[in-house]
Amino acid sequence: LSTIRDVAREAGVGLGTVSRVLNGGANVSDATRNRIEETMRRLDYRPNLVARALSRRQSDVLEVIVPLVTREFYVEVLRGIEEALAPTTYALVIHTVERAQDRKRIFGAERELTRRDGILIASLTPPESFVDQLIEDGTPAVLIDGEHPRLPSVGVDHDDALRQVVAHLTASGRSRIALIDRADDPFGPARASARQSGFRRALDAAGMPIDPELELIAGYSADGGRHAVEQLLDARPAIDAVIAGSDIQAIGAIDGIRARGLNVPDDIAAVGYNDIEVARYLDLATVQVPMRAMGRRATEILLAAIEGNAEPASHASFAAKLVVRGTAPAPKS
Amino acid sequence: LSTIRDVAREAGVGLGTVSRVLNGGANVSDATRNRIEETMRRLDYRPNLVARALSRRQSDVLEVIVPLVTREFYVEVLRGIEEALAPTTYALVIHTVERAQDRKRIFGAERELTRRDGILIASLTPPESFVDQLIEDGTPAVLIDGEHPRLPSVGVDHDDALRQVVAHLTASGRSRIALIDRADDPFGPARASARQSGFRRALDAAGMPIDPELELIAGYSADGGRHAVEQLLDARPAIDAVIAGSDIQAIGAIDGIRARGLNVPDDIAAVGYNDIEVARYLDLATVQVPMRAMGRRATEILLAAIEGNAEPASHASFAAKLVVRGTAPAPKS
DNA sequence: TTGTAGGCGTTATCAG
DNA sequence: CTGATAACGCCTACAA
């Protein structure tokens, strides 16, 4: 494999000139530039990105940390990220956190290493020590589906979304509404998710009582939804509506409800969250979340920060919209 | 940020010694090793991977090229890859090919650059020029869901799978079976997919006629499946079974069939492919493909090749199994 | 406009 | 066991 030096020698010029042709090519006469380019082609020269990264102190690599690549939510976010990255030269390395030990491996200060020009973190709460390090190293980072006092972030306006859902359900005569949510951060400190607080606020605004027994945090999977709904039906058999924190949980919950011989939506209405592709085919009412747009936006913010246009630790909130479908139909007029 | 040099100075040793401690730490006395490690901790030293990569001529980065991250098939494959990578220090960079221009950007010899210790390519046919380059550079590569004379690969035994499906359908009295497939390589040369040839062989073995009008290649999406089935029903209204090349296409196809007032499975049976998570909840009969295992296996092969245990251009074939569900029920006895 | 020298942070070689 | 010293391939002044 040939290097910049080979090209220089072959073309009878100095290394500096070749390098200049490589980047922008300013201050090089057309004649020599052509000669050099021709030589590069002839030698099948390709620049070594690693060497370039070392010299420039910038790797052209972005890192994204997600909890479970398997969920369509993250897949869509990733797609948004790729959209934003397509016109650039950045490569994307993905780190998945599926177990507590992954979390340690990725966020742990221990043997953490240097590279990446910026980081995107989805649905995960980075430990303070990690944030400290980021800030100290000057590595920009953006949170997706989360918030942090020292980092910029993008997220969903869950308060508004849940207001829509609760309004819709009450309008169609439901009064005992349950929430089966996923954790904001599956490995983070257990605390009320953003959806959960939105749910409470919405109930409150609607003048409805809050019953902690009607709020469950379940695994982010169909099984998680199913188990949760069973538990729910044992504790509160009289519920007439379920809101899930994700579509896949809603799907499992509906399955569980039907397995008990109850009808959806007649006995119990069900609403999902995110609006993944199959929701439509399952006739699942759900909250449509602009997953892709969020990924794209987060990436734009990150790129801007890398370019030096550091944003403050602002939060970009995306509006979500209820999509009414068969599992939670509109009130009969 | 501190470098190996800072550590050496602070610890009062030469760089070489620090480097040795970093890697394995052989030939270093316990005393100095401890002192150096203590110093590294105190200085919060973290090795610069870029510099290391340049020096070692190995980046510890693997690259995976997939057509559409959005499809659960690829997501599962990715998960398998991550499983195999978890115990290693390799990072994974993902390249998505969604449009013809992406393909050019990634496979094009033009401005292609150097790095990555190995490449995984899913459902895509790399151009010969690219393979030439790989071999010339000595970069190992493994194909997933594809085959190539000069590269090792992993795939599904579609012949066997389709034999199972056709057998099942004919056993339940279906005789006019159609195939709505996805392209093997959405951007590659149009040619019969592996499923398609398996389908023909299976029909043949069952003594059934082959009707090209009953074989369609459609977009890898629910809409693709739906449009295809509409076209199919126009051309051949008498079909009584549809096999799809993916579950998501099957879902769309079923939707299209029902939209025409036909019943699934009474009028037309439907079978998907892959067995994605929601298939069960849609009661979709489908071919269960070990997507995760394929990803894992491909990665293991790749890692072995990187370690120097170069495999020949062998092909690892994974068995798939029909899962009978409501959209293509067992024959009534 | 062009060439040269130094440096980016590690690893590897080779004397001591 | 340890410490210089030369790569690794490229970029960026700085000088010509």
- What is the dihedral angle through the alpha carbons of B199, B201, B203, B204, rounded to the nearest 10 degrees? 160
- Contact at 8 Å (CB) between B97 and B152? no
Within 10 Å of residue B154's Cβ, how many Cβ atoms?
A: 29
Which pLDDT score, from 0 to 100, does residue B266 have? 97
Confidence tier at B333 by pLDDT (50, 70, 90): low
Interface mutation vs chain B, best among A132, A226, A278, most B CBs within 10 Å: A278
Q: What percent of chain B has pLDDT over 70?
A: 97
Provide the positions of strand C that have an atom within 7 A of a protein CB: 1-14
Interface mutation vs chain A, best among B4, B22, B105, B115, most A CBs within 10 Å: B115
The residues, any chain, with a CB within 8 Å of residue B171's CB and separated by 6 or more, are: B331
* Of the partner residues B51, B137, B277, the one whose CB lies closest to the CB of residue A1: B137
Q: Which residue has the higher pLDDT, A274 or B95?
A: A274
Q: What mean pLDDT is predicted for residues A145-160? A: 96
- Contact at 8 Å (CB) between B332 and B171? no
Over residues B213-261, the pLDDT tens digits come to 999 999 999 999 999 999 999 999 999 999 999 999 999 999 999 999 9
Over residues A17-52, the pLDDT tens digits come to 999 998 877 788 888 999 999 999 999 899 999 999
Which pLDDT score, from 0 to 100, does residue A105 have? 81
* Of the partner residues A50, A221, A252, the one whose CB lies closest to the CB of residue B50: A50
Over residues B77-133, the pLDDT tens digits come to 999 999 999 889 899 998 888 888 888 888 876 555 667 999 999 999 999 999 998
For residue A219, the cross-strand partners are none
* Cβ <8 Å between B49 and A252: no
Q: Report how far apart, in Å, the C-alpha atoms of B134 and of each of A140, B43, B121, B146, B184 are.
A: 34, 41, 12, 17, 22
Residues 16-75 of B with CB under 8 A from A: 44, 46-51, 53-54, 59, 61, 69-70, 72, 75
- Measure B227 CA to nearest chain A CA, in Å: 15
Q: What mean pLDDT is predicted for residues B182-198? A: 82
Q: What is the mean pLDDT of chain A?
A: 92
C1' (D13) to CA (A116) span, angstroms = 26
One-letter amino acid of A91: A
C1' (C8) to CA (A50) span, angstroms = 11
Position A112 pLDDT exceeds 60:
no
pTM higher than the cut 0.75: yes
Q: In what order do the strands lie in the sheet with A118-122?
A: A315-318, A153-156, A141-144, A118-122, A61-66, A91-96, B91-96, B61-66, B118-122, B141-144, B153-156, B315-318
- What is the dihedral angle through the alpha carbons of A71, A72, A74, A78, rounded to the nearest 10 degrees? 140
CA dist A239 and A231 (Å) reads 12
Over residues A62-90, the pLDDT tens digits come to 999 998 767 899 999 999 999 999 889 89
Which pLDDT score, from 0 to 100, does residue B191 have? 74
Q: Is B110 on the interface with A (CB under 8 A)?
A: no
Interface mutation vs chain A, best among B98, B113, B226, B246, most A CBs within 10 Å: B113
Closest alpha carbon within chain B to A42: B110
* Cβ <8 Å between B281 and A252: yes
Strand-pair category, B61-66 with B315-318: unpaired
For A168-179, letters b (16+ CB in 10 Å) and e give bbbebebebbbb
> Length of chain B, please?
333
Chain Cα centroid distance, residue B5: 43
C1' (D2) to CA (B13) span, angstroms = 8
The residues, any chain, with a CB within 8 Å of residue A73's CB and separated by 6 or more, are: A145, A246, A274, A276, A289, A291
CA–CA–CA angle B205, B206, B208 (5° rounding):
105
* Of the partner residues B48, B79, B255, the one whose CB lies closest to the CB of residue A281: B255
Number of Cα atoms under 13 Å in the Cβ half of residue A137: 26
- What is the dihedral angle through the alpha carbons of A109, A114, A118, A124, rounded to the nearest 10 degrees? -30
CA dist A256 and A226 (Å) reads 5
